[in-house]
Amino acid sequence: MIYTVTFSPAIDYIIHMDALTQGEINRSKRETCHFGGKGINVSVMLERLGVRNTAMGFISGFTGRALEESLWKAGIDTDFVYLDEGITRINIKIKTDQETEINTQGASISHEKLKELFLKLDALKEGDILIVSGSAPSTIPEGSYETMLDRLEGKGIRLVIDTTGPLLKKLLKYRPFLVKPNKKELEELEGSKIRSDQALEDRAGALQKQGARNVLVSLGAEGAYLLSEDTRAYRMQSHSVSVVNTVGAGDSMVAGFLAGYLKTGDYPFALRLGLAAGSATACSEGLASLEKIKRFMNPFDRLDLGR
C-alpha cells in the first residue's frame, strides 16, 4: 500500500483578475477552488493513474471536512488525524499577468496529535511506500520528520521524499527510494547555478552518495533528469505546452513516476509517465485528467492506467 503524509493540507482558492491594485477594491473575473497540499496532490494523481493509496496527515474544522469528503468522492482512502482547533488552511492564488500566492500557516499541531499520527504510521508493513512531501510547518516541533522516520527505520518501508533545503539533506540518511528536487532547489542546496549537464549529473550524484537511491530532477521547460539506483542516467525533453498552472506539476511528476515504476519496474517508462503527468498538469487549471496524461505518452507504450 502507498501512503502519503501531508502535515498541512490546504484548500487553494484561485482568483482570476485583470489586475491587482493594492489599497483598492479589486474585483475578480472568476474563481476556482482546489483541494491540495503536496501529498494530497500525489494521492489524487495516483488514484487517477490507477494506484490505490491512503492519504494521511492533519485536518481541522469545516475546511478539513470538505477536503476529506472530496478525497472520498475521488475514491481515495483517508486516515487523517483530526485537530481540535483551527481550520485546514486556505491559500489564495491570484492570477493576473503574474501569479501571486498567499500561503497561510494553518492550525497548530500539538505533541499529542503528532504522536497520534506516529502511532498510525507504526502500522505500516514491509513493502509499503510512504511519501513525505512539503516543508516542515512552523506548527510542529523541529525534528518531527526525523522522529517520524526513526520509528519506521528497519521495517522495509520504501520512502519517497519531496522536500527541499536543509530538511532534504537531513532525510537522506534514511535511504529514500526516491527524492525529487527541481533544478532551482538543487541549485539552492549547493548555493550555485547548474550551467551544464555535467553539473546536473554531479549534483544528483551527490544526493545519491548521501543516501538517495533514485534522484528525479524536474527541469521545467527543459524536461526531466533521472539518476537511477543502478547509476544509469536518463534525460528526457519536456513536452511543448502552454503553461497555465504550476501548482501540482511536480507532485504529478512524482505520482506518474511511481505509478509507471510500480506497473512496469522500468525506469525509462516511469520517467516518461512522470514527465507526461507533470506536463499535463502544467497545461490544466487543476491536476490533469487521465485522458490528458495519456495524450502526452508515446503511442507505442502499452498503457494500463486508471481503473
pLDDT at 301: 61
- Beta bridge partners of residue 281, listed in sequence order: none
Residue 49: name the closest of 2, 10, 14, 9 by CA: 2
Taking the C-alpha atoms of residue 189 and residue 235, their distance in angstroms, rounded to an integer, is 21
| DSSP helix/strand/coil, 39 | helix
Q: What is the mean pLDDT of residues 145-158?
A: 94
Residue 204: name the closest of 223, 232, 241 by CA: 232
- Please report, for residues 58, 132, 160, 170, the alpha-carbon distance to residue 167 in angstroms, rounded to integers and kept in the order given: 20, 11, 14, 5
109 near 7, Cβ under 8 Å? yes
Taking the C-alpha atoms of residue 121 and residue 73, their distance in angstroms, rounded to an integer, is 24
Query: pLDDT class for 304, splitting at 50, 70, 90?
Result: low
pLDDT at 137: 80
CATH code for 2-16+28-295? 3.40.1190.20
Output the average pLDDT for the chain. Answer: 91
Q: Rg of the chain over CA atoms, in angstroms?
A: 19
Render pLDDT for 64-101 as a digit per residue (tens, 0 to 9): 999 999 999 999 999 999 999 999 999 998 989 888 88
Q: What cell numbers appear for 195 in the block? A: 550551467
Render pLDDT for 224-249 as a digit per residue (tens, 0 to 9): 999 999 889 999 987 777 777 777 88
Residue 252: name the closest of 8, 102, 12, 49 by CA: 49
227-245 burial: b if 16+ Cβ within 10 Å, else e: bbeeeeeebbebbebeeeb
The catalytic residues are 251
pLDDT at 99: 82
Q: What cell numbers appear for 236 in the block? A: 528526457
Render pLDDT for 273-299 as a digit per residue (tens, 0 to 9): 999 999 999 888 889 899 999 988 875
Query: In the chain, what are the domain boundaries?
Result: 2-16+28-295
Q: CA angle 53-58-62, nearest 5°?
A: 105
267-282 helix and 249-264 helix, angle to the nearest 10 degrees: 150
Q: Which amino acid is at 261?
A: Y
Cβ burial of 62 (10 Å; 0-12, 13-18, 19+) is: exposed
71-88 burial: b if 16+ Cβ within 10 Å, else e: beeeebebebbebeebbb
Render pLDDT for 160-213 as a digit per residue (tens, 0 to 9): 999 888 899 999 999 999 999 989 998 888 888 888 889 999 999 999 999 999
Beta-carbon count within 10 A of 305 CB: 19
Taking the C-alpha atoms of residue 187 and residue 194, their distance in angstroms, rounded to an integer, is 6
Render pLDDT for 100-119 as a digit per residue (tens, 0 to 9): 889 888 888 999 999 999 99
